[in-house]
Structures are given as C-alpha cells and as structure tokens.
A and B are shown apart, each in its own frame.
Chain A
Amino acid sequence: MLAMSRLSAGLKHLELDSLEFIAVPAERIMTQRAWLCLDMAGLAEPISATWLFAGTQLTARAKSCEAVDQYLRATIIHISLQSKPAHMASNVLPFFWHLASSSKDARLTASADLVSTLQTFQSTYLENRPAVDGDEDEEEDEDESDDESGEEVDPSDDEEDAQIQEEGKKLDKQLASNNAEDVVYTVKRLVRGLASSRESSRLGFAVALTEVSSTPGSESTNAKPSCSRAWTLSPHRKSCPLSFDRRHTARPCAARTSETPCSLDCSASHL
C-alpha cells in the first residue's frame, strides 16, 4: 500500500523515468494491478509511462489498463521507487530481481546481462574520466572489505570494530572514486544481497559478484580451474565483465565453458 501511494505520487508528478516495476510472485498480482489501474484512471491527463518488465520496456498510456493487464497477468509488479536515486540510470535495476530467481537459466541470463551492461558503463566512465597515473585500485579489494566489514563483529571488541569501520569507509571511498556509479551501486547491492534468504539469491548474487569482480588482469594470471568457476553465460557476452584497468580494456576474456556452477550448486544442495 505504501508502495502504491508512492506510485501515485510519482505519476502525479510525472516522474515517470524513475518508475520501475519488477516482477514479483504471482499471488500479489491482483491487488497491485487493481491499484495501478485505479491510479492511472485517476489521472486528469493521459500520460505515457514506461515500465521495465523482465528487462523489456513497455510503454503504456495512462487510462488504459489493457497494456498493463496484458503484461501483468503472469507476473506481478513490485514498485521500487524509494530505493533508487533519481539520477541513476535504471538500466541495472531490473536484473537484480532475476538474480535471485530459482530458475538457473533466469539467474544466469540476469548475471550475464548485468555484467555486460556494467561493462558498458564502466568503459564509458573510464573514457570520460581524466587520466590518473599510477592509481590502479581495483575492485577486488573493495569487494572483500565490503564483505568483511559487513559481517558481525564481536561487540566486546570495540577497538577492532572501529578499525574495521574505518577501513571499510576508506575502501568504500576508493571504490566510489574508481568506478562508475552503477558499478559501485551494483557491488554494494550484490554484497548485501548475499545475506538475503529469498529464493536463490545467495547463489545468484554470488555468481554475479564473482563475475563482476573477476578482471581481465586476474583472468590471465589465474590458473585454469576445474569445473568450479565456469558459469554459463549468454553467448552474446564476448569480453570480460569490467575493465578496471585501462590497459586491459580491449582484452578479450578467456572463453568460458558451459558447465554448471557445480561448486555453488553443491554447497547449496545441503543447506
């Protein structure tokens, strides 16, 4: 209900670009669809709105619920207005939902799409960024610190706690200054999502985080693994996820095989 009132506020203020719907379980479809139609019907002016459903853009006119109906029959909408900074491109957000899907294909497609989208952002960012010499802070350290500073710390150990917080802040800053905004957001969200118990979010988010933090540089130095680090990624992905180091920007990624991410699946099977 809260989300719906925000939605109507958004529509009234014509902040349509920031409206975003993500598929959520089917049982809630009826209520939310009804509310959406109601909201739209209540508008004085017919306006067009753009939704992203499963990554597909849908443009619908206000006062016509048909298009909405059509798209919402199978999946319901969930409005995530509040969590999104208005200036951020909405391009990465639709992927996160599917990362937690219990269907393996959906998860892998979402992570492949997410990674390729981020790659585009990051290369654009690097092109536009003024040159920085000798500053090669890469993603992996940040990932890790995010990860570790997010964990529980013995409350009796105040000093250590403060130290970790401090370090986390520092790395956070580093992460923000070296990467595109969407990349920063994604890394943070992926790390946080690891603790979610929704459907298969641990698997999906871990796979995506792995892909995001593997750089072309580490790709070549890294020993060829057993089946453990091969994820299926969609065929359109031609190069490595994120080029944090300019020199590697154009370097193609080692081909991935299409085996299952067996290790993670195994570890999940006995949860």
Chain B
Amino acid sequence: MRGPDVRDALFARLFGITSIIQSGSLFAPTSSLETFDRVIDNLLELGQAKGWLRESAWWGILGATEGVSQGNVEWAAKAVDSVVEKVYADKAWSQEKIALTLVLEARRPVSPLR
C-alpha cells in the first residue's frame, strides 16, 4: 500500500473502533472480555504505529476504560485489570498514559502507580 492508503487504513481502524466504543456496543451484554481486549490491543497498536495517531488512539483507550468501568458487565473488573497490565507493561510515560492513570486512580481504590 502507498502512503496515503496506509494512512486511510489507519484512520479507518481508528474511526471504526471509536464507533464501537462510542455506540456502547463494546459494553453491551453481547460483548465479551475477549472483544474488549482485542479493541484495546488494536488501539495500542494504532497509537504506536504513528505519532500523530497516538493521542486519538489513547483517547479511545480512555473511553473504553471509562465505559467498561461505568457499565455493568460481569467482566468489567477483569477488563480494567487487563488494561492496566497492558498499558503499564511499557515503562515509558506519555501524556496520554498520565491521563489514563488519573482516570484509573479515580475509579480504583488502589493506584496503579506504585
């Protein structure tokens, strides 16, 4: 694929995943932990793919994390745990990671920051 095509494909993924999150279907009873993990993996991958996508991709992660912890699916706690695991596997810090940390801190009694 040529440059513009690659960019279009990346954007398409971002917008598609955003749709899934925004529509709430990711947190619907029909969704699953597996699906959620896949969405997070995809967003992390997108964020790493291009610097200019990072903010938007992480905004998606933030939305998904907030959404799942406010919703009432059974696997909500596991989902948040898996986000924590994935996100803090990489020790480097970014603005977006700080934002996510603040969100997680507000939701969880124990801070992911040790």
Contact = CB atoms under 8 A, between A and B. Distances in A.
Interface of A: 136-141, 143-144, 146-148, 150-152, 191, 194-197, 202-203, 205-206, 209-215, 217-219, 221-223, 225, 228-229, 263-264, 267, 270-271
B15 interface: yes
A114 to B, nearest CB: 14
Interface string B40-72: 001000000000100110010001001100111
Given A206-B18, A213-B20, A221-B71, A139 B11 contact: no
B26 interface: yes
Contacts of B52: 270-271
B12 A194 contact: yes
A175 to B, nearest CB: 13
Interface majority SS (helix, strand, loop, mixed), chain B: helix
Interface majority SS (helix, strand, loop, mixed), chain A: helix
Interface of B: 1, 4, 6, 8-9, 11-20, 22-31, 35, 38-39, 42, 52, 55-56, 59, 63, 66-67, 70-73
A263 B20 contact: no
B71 to A, nearest CB: 6
Contact of A222 (B55, B56, B67): B67
Contact of A218 (B25, B38, B55): B25
A143 B35 CA distance: 12
A140 B30 contact: yes
Contact of A211 (B15, B23, B42, B55): B23
Contacts of A215: 25, 28
Given A215-B25, A228-B63, A222 B71 contact: yes
Given A140-B31, A195-B9, A218 B24 contact: yes
